[in-house]
Structure 1
Amino acid sequence: MKWLDRLKTPKASDPHATKPTKPQESEQAAGFVGFVAYPPAPFQKIEGSEAANNTTPAADPDRWCWPHSEAMNAVEIDIFTARLARFTDKGLTLADAEQQADRLVVRDREGDDRQLCLECAHLHGAGRWRCGNWHRAEVATQLKDAQLPGALVQTLQRCPGFGASTP
């Protein structure tokens, strides 16, 4: 049988290891003894742990995410993405929007009940913000069209006029 024919013929897995190779006389000081064996197929499942036996990623894509680690789970990623879009639409740079959305992930995990004006349905404008519920929110009471400072819009707070926006 020629070498090309041997490559085309699939080799059956041999459960037994090959005989160890012996080093040549001149290499005995360094020495190397090796052998080759196929792993037992199929691998045995681990008993008593259904999670350990489930190796398909589609089974539970969030199995290593929050609360088991700091990684965001699928729901948090969806909310993060929606917030990112809203914040950039409201005039934040992408870097500032990501920073605020990251802060809100932590806020949500900790159960903090404060909100950003950026999350409010009453916030109007993009970069030059106005509060559409200024009287109830008790901001800019002198002029209803007064511009809100950026520091206020990006500060977590409890606002009596807050109305959640839909992402």
Structure 2
Amino acid sequence: MNWLTRLKKIENAPTTTLQNLQKEDSGAFVGFVGTPPAPFQNSTCEIAALPDAFPAPANDAALTPMTTDEERMIRAWLAHIEETDADAIAQLLNDCQLDATARAYFIGQAGTVPGIARTDTDTARLILFTDRGLNLDDAEAMTDRLALRDSQHDERRACIECLHLSGTTTARRCHQWRMIGVKGPSIPADLVTILQRCAGFTHKLKETA
């Protein structure tokens, strides 16, 4: 039984009873030996005292749409556990869109895996890259690429994170062009997100390495 099936069984079970527990774990739970104590005779014995696996959200009406970053974290966690079933992934993301408690649970699971949760550096990079004209998806992808680079101690850098980059998305300029020995300040648009070694590089952010 995979994780999604287990979750659905937990969420959809109408009542937890001793009989249900015996049916669910018939291979391991052998039931009572002899006559059960009087309070349990002729009773379904609802286990109301046990906490629910996913308690109901306090206020579903206040649920906000799932953010791009939240979805990215959940998808990254699913990739981490090697879940590849497209229908199961779509169902889980839909559940997280509609259920605050399920969303919090899976984001919490993602947060336990190193590299998935956003750091302050990741957030600062996202802000910088979107300010410099990248759309959110491209900024997310670039941030993830740099996080991987940092974890691998790769010394290459990208113009998009450099202090000396200026201009617009269609007219990028490098203020260190003389130092690095190129013919002029103009930079091809597709060059700014390519990892490379550059003698003129200075971090735009105070410390990201």
TM-score (structure 1 length as normaliser): 0.56
Give yes or no for contact 1:18–1:36 (8 Å, CA) kept in 2.
no
Corresponding residue of 1:166: 205
* 1:18-167 → structure 2 map (5 Å cutoff): 19-22=39-42, 34-35=44-45, 64-66=112-114, 70-72=115-117, 76-127=118-169, 128-139=171-182, 141=183, 143=184, 145=185, 147-166=186-205
Which has the larger Rg? 1
SS at match of 2:119: helix
CA distance in 2, matches of 1:20, 1:152: 73
SS at match of 1:108: helix
CA distance in 2, matches of 1:18, 1:81: 60
1:79-100 C-alpha deviation (Å, 9 max, x unpaired): 1111111111112122211111
SS at match of 1:19: helix
Give yes or no for contact 1:18–1:35 (8 Å, CA) kept in 2.
no
Over the residues paired in the alignment, what is the CA RMSD in angstroms? 2.7
CA distance in 2, matches of 1:63, 1:117: 30
Shift of 1:104: 0.8
SS at match of 1:102: helix
| Identity value in percent | 37
Residues 21/83 of structure 1: CA separation in 2 closer, same or farther (3 Å cut): same
Return 5+ residue gaps in structure 2 as ranges: 1-36, 50-109
Residues 95/19 of structure 1: CA separation in 2 closer, same or farther (3 Å cut): same
SS at match of 1:121: coil
Shift of 1:118: 0.8
Shift of 1:34: 4.1
SS at match of 1:91: coil
Runs of 4 or more consecutive aligned structure 1 residues displaced over 4 Å after TM superposition: 36-39
- Number of aligned residue pairs: give it: 110
Corresponding residue of 1:26: none
TM-score (structure 2 length as normaliser): 0.46
Give yes or no for contact 1:123–1:129 (8 Å, CA) kept in 2.
yes
Return 5+ residue gaps in structure 1 as ranges: 1-16, 23-32, 40-61
Shift of 1:19: 2.0
